[in-house]
Chains A and B, each alone.
Chain A
Amino acid sequence: MVDPVTLAVLKGRLEQIADEMDATLFRSAFNPIIAEAHDASHGIYDAVTGATLVQGKSGLPIFVGAMSFAVKTVIDKAARDGAPDDGDVYIFNDPYDGGTHLSDFRLVRPYFRDGELFCYLASVGHWHDVGGNVPGNYNPVATECFQEGMLIPPVKLFRKGELQQDIVDICQANSRQPGSLYGDLNGQINALDLGVARLTALLDEYGAKTITGAFVELIARAAQLMAANIADLPDGTYSCDDWLDNDGIVDEPLKIALDLTIARDRMTLDFSRSAKACAGPVNIARSTTVASCYVGLKHVFTDVPANAGVLEPIEIITPEDSMLCVSAPKPVGGYTETILRIIDVIFGAIAQVAPDRVNGCAYGTINALSLAGHRANGQRWVMFSFFGGGHGGNPEGDGLNHGNAPISTATIPPAEILEAAYPVMFTQWALRPDSGGPGQHRGGLGAIYEIELLEEQADVFLFGERGKYAPPGVFGGGSAAKTTFGFEQDDGIHTPPMVSKMVGIDIRRGQKLRLETPGGGGYGDAYTRQPDMVARDVQLGYVSLDAARNAYHVAISSTGAVDEAATAKLRATAGK
């Protein structure tokens, strides 16, 4: 057993290795989804089980739970096809075993010490384009994964240190952005090289026995910490249901339902009442479901570390026919929307038993918007970005305006960078009034992005959510505003028939797109919000006069101050 002091030291050293791998890829990646949005992750994994031993702090949160499945896939492959050699690196993007979607390419490298397999290092990054029907791969109308992009099973990118150029050629030939792909792939290889060098130095310093002991001990302690957190909550079953607008193919809502049971220091997350596998791309593999449960719980129990121990006291139930447990070739390209909803129902369930631990739901969609076309010189351009929204009100105060999605730490590219790179002009990049859910602590505001096309023609698609079902508040807080999307045509403004998802939008020079994103849900009853806070919200334009009156039951006089008498009357007759 490793003494507690050495353990604390090694914890920091190991995390630093994973963090440094993250940083290397972020800085050298080509595509902004990795470089700016940090849609990537690195870690160290168990040689036998693939369990996460250490994961970087700066990578995409959702990968923290998913990567162990990817490593396990390689371990199983090796068990079938022969043990890996030192210097091998596997590459693949199969989402059914490794989690997430086809855009995420994983590199898994066995690490040898004294001729023995010691552990695995892995790198995952979201590539700009991996083929399929639409540039950027968020195909809202995919019915099979084959329409979403190329699918590479686990194959050896390196054999005993030798790069297999054939594999690189195949990948590049299947992408609309082969240069970007090549740059990102090299960044991932560099990150793994660096991880190997750093881990070797650490092993030289402490010896394999101590490091192995630390791995075991760190996982045990994470499990102990998570169990202690669960034990703080009263026993019982708490349920929360929420819906996705549709799957992009059939316009019917899809239920995501959670029954969360606390039994002393164990927790069960039962998703059995959720919708069956659907035709469109909002299905997810079980590994993705597990990963998103981890993210949801870590947002509530922020002190638990990023290793496999955290999930030890937790059971997750997903029936085999569920949309949360699909296998090939069910489409999974829009996995982000579904996992955001899983996080929302986790907040909603815990809010019933421990409202002091959670917040109103965040905006709950990444709103992938793509514009593509050709310049006058024939050169192809693809602008693909995710857009922000509000965070939920919480026990400490109002929600954050215009934050990033809970599954990521992505920053948005500046309008000036987008305008310099693509033939577009933003005519609005603004906060969206009245989009935050009302509450004692108001939800943060979503945004309005309005984009005018400066070239002859562009094809546009949107993959969004929360167009029909608004982000809910908790503890009595109200819902936020829903997503709206409008696109200009010769005869005026149109909206997508499926509200939040559409492909094949054809716009012309001078025509505009307008995306309005949801805010966050409120926290606590809106009638209890201090009237002068409501007056301030009105003065700053966060809340309209109408909403102040109807949602908060506060009357504002012509000077902008609270009309005390009228407010008292409104709040009395509101029945609260």
Chain B
Amino acid sequence: MSKQGNLVVGVDVGGTFTDVFFLDEANGHCRVVKVPSTFGDQSIGFIEGLKKGSDSLAKIATVVHGTTVGTNALLEKKGAKTGIITTTGFRDVLEMRRRDRPQTWGLWGNFEPVVPRDLRLEVDERTLADGTIHQAVDPDKVAEAARTLIERGADSLAIIFINAYANNANEQAALEAARAVWPNAYVNTSSDILPEIREFERTSTTTLNAYLQPVVASYLDKLQAALAKDGSAAQILIVQSNGGVMTIETAKSLPVRTALSGPAAGVMASAYIAGEAGFDNVITCDMGGTSFDVALVAGGKSALAPQTSIDFGMVVRTPMIEMTTIGAGGGSIAWVDRGGLLQIGPQSAGSNPGPVCYGLGNDHPTVTDANVVLGRINSERPIGGKLDRLDVEAAKAAIKRDIGAPLGLETMAAAEAIIRVANSRMAGALRLVSVERGHDPKNFAAMPFGGGGALHAGALIKEVGLKSALVPRYPGINSALGCVIADMRHDFVQTVNNPLVDMDIADIDRQLVALGEDGLARLDASSVNFDGRDVTFELDMSYVGQTHTVDVPMALTISNGSTGITREAISAAFEARYREVYGRPLKGIAMRVLNLRVAAIGRRSKFDLRLLAPDPDGTFEAARIGSRDVWIDGGWHQAGIYARLDLPIGSAVPGPAILEQPDATIFIEPDLVGIVDEFGNLVITRKEIG
């Protein structure tokens, strides 16, 4: 693919706006465009955003896209009609799950699998746990089953055989037979998608991939066609849940890897911005309407989780940025239970009807209402540009009625109580990803992005004992920015499930090298220019008898066709990692290697964040646009109001202060100070004592 232009463009399609970030690699100029998201067909808003920021699409060399098309199709159960062909006796694996239930308490709630029972067919075949083929598959029977599924309207197909992780021969034979009759390319095997032990997780992931293929592919085809029509030959890259990008062709065949595409890009941007600003350890905090998502970046790297549940029973097992979500967003409703305890959520007014102050029909007080009543959100100039003003009096009345009266508190005290309890819930989420994982919060900064997170960042510093908070210059466009800087990444897994003493190390070495080289070949095939490439190796290990594993990073490199791995190195790395995670390695118990994990990473060139820095001609005085009363700790305080983007580098804004910008509001508490760094980020810390 020839590259005509110099523009690299990051596009994040959100619930309300599509954010587009333009970087001109020739002169280093950047530009941000926001257009309303278009539902039904996201590509319309997408192209509109591109056109708004560039007079000719031909100037665009690369478009990097964090997409929610896959996520939404999963959440709304709007994927394709999918068929499953599986081993006799196992057609219900998808529906039986791991025998769980939606909630611990209360026995209601059901589960509707994305593939109904009459589209799940069985064929006789069997592979044993050690990889022995107990019964070969009959290709004619597979073709017959595939034809039945086609007749029943299936558009995509998942072939999932028991123990196929140990030997894929039957699945491969079935794949060939199915391909011969299937009318499109949407045919998947579980050993291709996830060659890992545990049939439910493999079934769910493979099935959801098939379920998404037609939907995601048709969306991406539309994007490609729309770009081509406007004379663009831009390469399109898609952000994966693991925070790396993949080619559009890979995305069409592995759409399940986009399940958390959008949020992952935001975390990648945070990690990069924080690293440039000298913060290797941050906890990103994304506060939305209904939820608060946090992710840990330690030593410059974001933690990856092996799997997630999109909804009850909808398990996607591919490496993804580890995100912890709690139901405490701006729209979360505050209420007093019958025992007299103040609670936040899980009910939420979301963004529609939204908080009481929006005046759109909800009359239950929310976290945002409390922020408005306390004067922390400007009711005359709400962010986002959807509403002209916010109804403070309505918010007050709701807080007085629902919180103040039952708790015997004045309205202002009740509003402050809402914020305090919401802050403590958010702090709980931060503690969960830091303290509970053995990280000392003193070494971490909170990094809020999205519109509302920076209102609470100061409180989180104090509550969790963090070093500081780092508010990026443009918190509202973090995900679009993340697209531009994300690396390309391919993850591989292979189950071996052997005690370490019995393992054929030479064979393990061959497998690692093969996976690594496969990854490098995929990087080559992408025709993206990389600054460098890395291959990383990790083993999932446990003591023999344990069912949970720990991830054991191995410091290996491929040279002369070998990683040089040894049994001793594996054993030492496992003991070190086990001590780190649990404190006490165990003596005299054999070790087991469950999976090999290999990642190939192509590092894309980064841009200089100083390009986003404030105008050098601005002054602190000019940026101070007034003052307003803000309720803090039981009384009114006069807080300075600042136009955040106009503050020059080096400005020190003492609390209490409110910093406003078009898509975010920052609150600095009285005992804190915010300092603008050389990139225009705001670093909030405790005021020096004395």
Contact = CB atoms under 8 A, between A and B. Distances in A.
Interface of A: 4-5, 7-9, 11-13, 16, 20, 23-24, 26-32, 35-36, 57-58, 61, 179-180, 182-183, 186-187, 190, 193, 198, 221-222, 224-225, 228-229, 298-299, 302-303, 305, 359, 362, 388, 391-392, 394-404, 406, 409-417, 419-420, 425-431, 444, 447, 450, 454, 539-542
A539 B100 contact: no
B108 A225 contact: no
A224 B340 CA distance: 8
Given A5-B421, A303-B337, 7 more contacts: A16-B432, A58-B104, A388-B99, A403-B99, A404-B101, A417-B547, A540-B117
A302 B105 contact: yes
A183 B586 contact: yes
A16 B431 contact: yes
A415 B108 contact: no
A5 B420 contact: yes
A115 B162 CA distance: 58
27 contacts: A4-B341, A4-B417, A12-B425, A30-B543, A61-B105, A180-B545, A388-B96, A392-B107, A397-B108, A400-B107, A400-B110, A402-B96, A403-B101, A403-B107, A409-B101, A411-B99, A411-B100, A413-B547, A414-B197, A414-B200, A414-B201, A416-B198, A425-B134, A430-B91, A431-B117, A454-B128, A542-B117
A12 B464 CA distance: 13
Interface of B: 88-93, 95-111, 116-118, 126, 128-129, 134, 162-163, 165, 197-201, 337-343, 407, 409, 417, 420-421, 424-425, 428, 431-432, 435-436, 497, 543, 545-548, 581-584, 586, 589
A107 to B, nearest CB: 15
A299 B107 contact: yes
B337 A27 contact: no
A190 B584 contact: yes
A417 B105 contact: no
Contact of B586 (A31, A58, A182): A182
Contact of B108 (A58, A198, A305, A359): A359
B590 to A, nearest CB: 9
B111 A400 contact: yes
B101 A416 contact: no
B92 to A, nearest CB: 4
Given A179-B589, A396-B108, A401-B96, A4 B337 contact: no
Most buried by A among B107, B110, B134: B107
B586 A186 contact: yes
Given A8-B343, A396-B109, A400-B111, A427 B545 contact: no
A190 B581 CA distance: 11
Contacts of A61: 104-105
Contacts of B543: 30, 183
Contact of A406 (B92, B107, B109, B547): B107
Given A8-B342, A400-B101, A26 B428 contact: no
Contacts of B547: 32, 35-36, 413, 417
A8 B424 contact: yes
Contacts of B424: 8-9, 12-13
A324 B200 CA distance: 38
Contact of B99 (A183, A398, A412): A412
A171 B435 CA distance: 33
B118 A539 contact: yes
A419 B90 contact: no
A190 B583 contact: yes
B107 A23 contact: no
B336 to A, nearest CB: 8
Contacts of B339: 221-222, 224-225, 228, 305
A541 B420 contact: no
Contacts of A404: 99-101
Contacts of B90: 415, 426, 428-430
B340 A398 contact: no
A312 to B, nearest CB: 12
Contacts of A229: 338
Contacts of A447: 92, 96
Contacts of B431: 16
Contacts of B340: 4, 221, 224
B106 A302 contact: yes
A414 B199 contact: yes
A9 B162 CA distance: 48
A173 to B, nearest CB: 16
B105 A299 contact: yes
Contacts of A182: 586, 589
A12 B428 contact: yes
B89 A430 contact: yes
A549 B100 CA distance: 32
Given A4-B417, A221-B341, A417-B547, A400 B126 contact: no
Given A430-B89, A447-B96, A540 B116 contact: yes
A417 B197 contact: yes
B672 to A, nearest CB: 19
Nearest to B544: A179
A515 B197 CA distance: 24
A351 to B, nearest CB: 13
Nearest to A186: B584
Nearest to B203: A414
Given A5-B420, A190-B582, A416 B199 contact: yes
Contacts of A57: 104
Contacts of A415: 90, 162, 199
Contacts of A429: 89-90, 92-93, 96
A61 to B, nearest CB: 7
A180 B590 CA distance: 12
B252 to A, nearest CB: 29
A450 B339 CA distance: 49
